[in-house]
């Protein structure tokens, strides 16, 4: 199968090069045949890469340790269900995965491309195929997952135990595909720029793909947080680790972009700004891939030091020069159709929101690159840790939540003091009452109070909009359910956006609760010992041991009683892998909307006692709700609008009034 | 066996890439149909109007701003609809003329 895989890689490389050149040549020579042929090449590349991926899967399933990559990332003891994870456990396999999924998404984008971007699509295809060519080229030249050894080892080295977790089935694929797929909205925008046609023609389709990639990255980051929370055993979910940061940064830039594109769609404004934003998102995504591949910054989940990083850095440099070169070349054609009427308007709020999001992204970028700069120029190794990010980004994020509450309530163009007061009155009162109630309940940390108050403000604003809109439609004769459905359908991007805002609020709730009111204790217990942490009494019952082919598992059983009442059993799992000389843990977690009880066993002592880390993390449960809400919001925003143009009613022939027909009686 | 699979994949790829050059060159792309483009633009106007109407209902757009903007959308949609119908009529007339000429040629032949 390895030979088939290699042949498929070379074939995919030829096809992607043909797609890149054929597309632009077809456009320049006005040859529809060449354009079609290049488009078919775009469809063929994922099919051929699927053959390569299938070959690698079969090599894993057949334990073909002659293949170097299979020997390095699996062994006979590996559960076959982790084959999927093993595929992208290393550099070469993950490149194949990225090339396959990126080419598949590109093919889907090209197949569904609307007529509005017909003239720029060949350039878009050329850019995207050049990127796909780069990934396949790196594989063929430097990191072929089908390279074979000169001998066949009897067993492989095994998969990294940290990867044997359900979250690993979705988290890395989403992040890797998401990072690479930022190139799609980028290529749509730059393709449009090169074609020099309508400056707004790309906005709809660009926004759709920006949203798709945004949801992928967002969900991937959240799943990564969940994975870290359950498996890394330190009780947290976000450590501002460089690899976490490099996935967050393009997500922040895309968040700014999907908001800003709405302004261009509605008002024809921010044309240059949107191109800049999508360029920044793309540059940050390539930077992320570079950090991930090259390993210049140590991280728990990078692929370690490798020369590949410099190849990606070179590609990043070329891409930046190209994208900003095109921007400079077309600078004069991107003047906005309108300008800001007032700083008290929705578009102004979007602009400030953009600046704050970029502020957070650049603070995070500085935190990632500062150790590299320090090492390079001063020869001093420094680590930028969580306190730096929390202190600088914390206030910026709070300001963002405030804007998230105010922005959607402001009208387009300009707001008067009266409209502003009417919009924020109810949410403001709810926020003040919430803060008062929290103070009465003994919550007094200022940052926490501000965070909870702002969350209440945003939720109240959204609920008010939904209730008000539903009531208005209900008064026009619709039942409540139809009125609510009609409200959502009337402006899906807006109401989908509200659901996404709710996702951010529940995320903020979890972060604020666990950051300001979490408790942690490290204790050593022998069998029969009891300890009290908060309202929980924990009794260590003993340890059960099981020996597997590749590991020794320790099941540390505890009994937990809450306020002397309900009693339940929990098991903190730990395993030691002798061949890999590493241990892995699975925390025992009892999760409720109020708080998580988190127990992880860190070490077994010779006298039979076990070291435990026990945490009580308030409101973390809400964080994991953010993922489904984020996806739901994206789905609502992207759901296609019912077509009216082709329907008989819309033609107006029924009443002979063609002008009034699509707009109803009023 | 791997070589055979490679050759088959390569041949399929070549056939797919060459196919557009072998097709009839005068095949009309549905993308080039101006009626489709006009319908797309009309759809966009409807969406704008629907959002505007909803914003007005919710009190986000005052009547004084709503009425002229809504009227602009209404007129634009009517113009697009008129263009669409003209194009369709023209296409229909062309078809009839071609049919008529064919009949004549058939009769004369």
pLDDT in tens, A443-482: 989 999 999 999 999 999 999 989 989 998 898 888 999 9
* Residue of chain B with shortest Cα separation from A19: B17
Asked if residue B1 has pLDDT above 70, the reply is yes
| Out of A8, A411, A472, closest to residue B57 by CB | A472
Asked if residue A140 has pLDDT above 70, the reply is yes
Query: What is the pLDDT, as a whole number, of residue A659?
Result: 39
- Among A430-434, A575-579, A645-649, B51-55, the minimum mean pLDDT is found in A645-649
Name the pairing type of β-strands A530-533 and A519-525.
unpaired
Instruction: List CB contacts (< 8 A) between A48 and chain B.
Output: 9, 13
Asked if residue A386 has pLDDT above 90, the reply is no
Mean local confidence (pLDDT), B46-58: 83
Q: Among A470, A484, A339, which Cα is nearest to A413's?
A: A339
Q: B32 by DSSP, 3-state: which?
A: helix
> Are B49 and A663 inside 8 Å of each other by CB?
yes
Asked if residue A661 has pLDDT above 50, the reply is no
Q: What is the DSSP letter of A662?
A: G
A129 touches chain B (CB under 8 A): no
Query: What is the pLDDT, as a whole number, of residue A645?
Result: 52
B49 touches chain A (CB under 8 A): yes
Reported as a pLDDT band with limits 50, 70 and 90, residue B26 is low
Would you give the end-to-end CA distance of chain B in angstroms? 60
Cα separation, A567 vs A561, whole angstroms: 4
B52 touches chain A (CB under 8 A): no
Mutation target among B21, B41, B45, B58 for the A interface, most CBs of A within 10 A: B58
Instruction: List CB contacts (< 8 A) between B25 and chain A.
Output: 33
Cα separations (Å) of A419 from A209, A504, B61? 34, 26, 10
A426 touches chain B (CB under 8 A): no
Residue whose entry in the numeric block shows the structure tokens 């690993």? A168
> Are B13 and A116 inside 8 Å of each other by CB?
no
Cα separation, A205 vs A112, whole angstroms: 9
- Given CA atoms A520, A521, A526, A529 in this order, what sign does their dihedral have? negative
B19 touches chain A (CB under 8 A): yes
What is the pLDDT of chain A when averaged over all its residues? 87
Cα separation, A321 vs A327, whole angstroms: 10
Query: What is the pLDDT, as a whole number, of residue A365?
Result: 93
What residue spans of A577-646 are helical by DSSP H?
620-638
Q: A441 by DSSP, 3-state: which?
A: coil
> Are B46 and A468 inside 8 Å of each other by CB?
no
Cα separation, A75 vs A72, whole angstroms: 8
Q: What is the DSSP letter of A573?
A: E
Asked if residue A260 has pLDDT above 80, the reply is yes
């Amino acid at each position: 199968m390895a030979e088939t895989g290699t042949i498929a890689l070379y074939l995919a490389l030829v096809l992607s090069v043909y797609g890149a050149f054929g597309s632009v040549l077809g456009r320049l020579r006005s040859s529809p045949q060449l354009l079609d042929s290049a488009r078919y090449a775009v469809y063929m590349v994922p099919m051929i890469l699927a053959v390569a991926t299938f070959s690698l899967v079969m090599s894993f399933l057949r334990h073909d340790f002659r293949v170097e990559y299979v020997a390095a990332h699996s062994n006979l003891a590996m559960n076959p269900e982790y084959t999927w994870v093993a595929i992208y456990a290393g550099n070469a396999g993950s490149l194949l995965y990225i090339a396959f999924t990126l080419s598949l998404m590109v093919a889907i984008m090209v197949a569904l491309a609307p007529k509005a971007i017909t003239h720029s699509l060949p350039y878009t295809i050329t850019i995207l195929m050049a990127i796909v060519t780069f990934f396949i080229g790196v594989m063929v030249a430097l990191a072929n997952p089908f390279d074979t050894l000169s001998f066949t080892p009897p067993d492989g080295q095994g998969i990294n135990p940290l990867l044997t977790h359900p979250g690993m089935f979705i988290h890395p694929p989403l992040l890797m595909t998401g990072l690479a797929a930022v190139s799609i909205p980028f290529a749509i925008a730059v393709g449009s720029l090169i074609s020099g046609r309508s400056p707004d023609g790309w906005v709809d389709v660009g926004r759709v793909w920006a949203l798709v990639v945004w949801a992928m990255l967002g969900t991937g980051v959240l799943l990564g947080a969940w994975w870290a929370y359950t498996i890394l055993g330190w009780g947290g979910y976000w450590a501002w680790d460089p690899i976490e940061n490099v996935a967050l940064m393009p997500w922040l830039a895309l968040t700014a972009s999907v908001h800003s594109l709405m302004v261009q769609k509605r008002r024809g404004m921010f044309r240059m700004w949107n191109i800049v934003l999508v360029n920044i998102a793309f540059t940050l995504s390539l930077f992320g891939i570079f950090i991930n591949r090259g390993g210049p910054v140590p991280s728990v989940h990078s692929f370690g030091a490798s020369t590949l990083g410099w190849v990606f850095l070179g590609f990043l440099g070329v891409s930046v020069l190209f994208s900003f070169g095109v921007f400079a070349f077309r600078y004069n054609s991107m003047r906005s159709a309108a300008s800001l009427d007032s700083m008290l308007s929705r578009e102004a709020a979007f602009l400030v929101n953009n600046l704050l999001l970029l502020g957070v992204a650049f603070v995070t970028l500085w935190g990632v690159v500062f150790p590299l700069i320090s090492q390079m120029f001063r020869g001093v190794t420094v680590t930028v840790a969580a306190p730096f990010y929390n202190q600088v980004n914390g206030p910026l994020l709070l300001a963002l939540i405030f804007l998230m509450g105010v922005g959607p309530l402001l009208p387009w163009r300009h707001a008067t003091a009266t409209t502003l007061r009417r919009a924020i009155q109810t949410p403001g009162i709810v926020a003040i009452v919430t803060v008062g109630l929290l103070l009465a309940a003994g919550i007094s940390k200022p940052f926490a109070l501000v965070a909870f108050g702002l969350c209440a403000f945003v939720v109240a604003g959204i609920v008010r909009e939904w209730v008000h809109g539903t009531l208005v439609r209900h008064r026009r004769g619709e039942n409540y359910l139809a009125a609510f459905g009609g409200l959502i359908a009337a402006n899906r991007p807006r109401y989908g956006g509200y659901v996404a805002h709710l996702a951010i609020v529940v995320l903020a709730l979890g972060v604020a609760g666990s950051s300001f009111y979490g408790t942690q204790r490290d204790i050593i217990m022998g069998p029969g010992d009891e300890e009290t942490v908060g309202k929980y009494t924990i009794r260590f019952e003993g340890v059960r041991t099981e020996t597997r082919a590749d590991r020794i598992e320790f099941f540390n059983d505890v009994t937990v009683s809450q306020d002397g009442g309900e009693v339940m059993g929990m098991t903190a799992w730990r395993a030691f892998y002798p061949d890999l000389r590493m241990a892995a843990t699975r925390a025992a977690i009892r999760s409720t909307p109020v708080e998580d009880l988190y127990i992880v066993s860190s070490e077994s002592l010779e006298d039979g006692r076990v070291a435990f880390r026990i945490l009580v993390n308030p409101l973390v449960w809400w964080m994991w709700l953010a993922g489904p809400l984020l996806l739901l919001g994206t789905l609502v925003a992207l759901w296609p609008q019912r077509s009216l143009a082709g329907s008989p009613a819309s033609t107006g022939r029924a009443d002979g009034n063609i002008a009034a027909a699509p707009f109803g009686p009023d | 066996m791997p070589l055979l699979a490679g050759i088959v994949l390569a041949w399929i790829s070549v056939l797919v890439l060459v196919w557009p050059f072998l097709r009839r060159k005068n095949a009309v792309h549905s993308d080039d149909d101006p009626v489709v483009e006009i319908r797309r633009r009309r759809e966009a106007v409807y969406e704008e109007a629907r959002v505007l109407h909803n914003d007005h209902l919710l009190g986000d757009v005052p009547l004084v701003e709503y009425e002229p903007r809504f009227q602009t959308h209404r007129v634009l949609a009517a113009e697009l609809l008129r263009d669409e119908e003209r194009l369709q009529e023209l296409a229909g007339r062309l078809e009839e003329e071609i049919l008529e000429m064919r009949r004549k040629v058939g009769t004369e032949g």
